[in-house]
Amino acid sequence: MLQVARRHDIDIEGACEGSLACSTCHVIVDPEWYDLLKEASEDEDDMLDLAFNLTTTSRLGCQIIITEELDGLTVRLPAATRNLLFG
């Protein structure tokens, strides 16, 4: 999702460029869509623990792979992010 967002000039941070080393691409998935996502890995869960404004439907945008089933996926950006790579 991070790559798709950037291609369409959607302002989402991704300090680690999708290498699962930060939580700056934290997004909040609309509850109607959350169960359609592949389960988060342990590494993603560890990074999410460091994110601000964590919710029960929080995910890292770099770990959401857009498929036909996710066409129309709705997410929102949290009010703040924590950039662990740069301060």
Question: Which tokens sit at 5?
Answer: 């967002």
Please state, in angstroms and rounded to a whole number, the distance separating the CA atoms of residues 5 and 50.
22
In terms of pLDDT, which residue wins out, 49 or 12?
49
What was the pLDDT predicted at 59?
97
Question: Could you tell me which residue, 81 or 63, shows the higher pLDDT?
Answer: 63
| Per-residue pLDDT at 86 | 41
Three state DSSP letters for the chain = CHHHHHHCCCCCCCCCCCCCCCCCCEEEECHHHHCCCCCCCHHHHHHHCCCCCCCCCEEEHHHCCCCHHHCCCCEECCCCCCCCCCC
Segment 16-71, tens digit of pLDDT: 989 999 999 999 999 999 999 999 999 999 999 999 889 999 999 999 999 999 99
* Residue 63 backbone phi and psi in degrees, to 5: -105, -5
Mean pLDDT of 74-84: 75
Name the pTM for this structure: 0.86
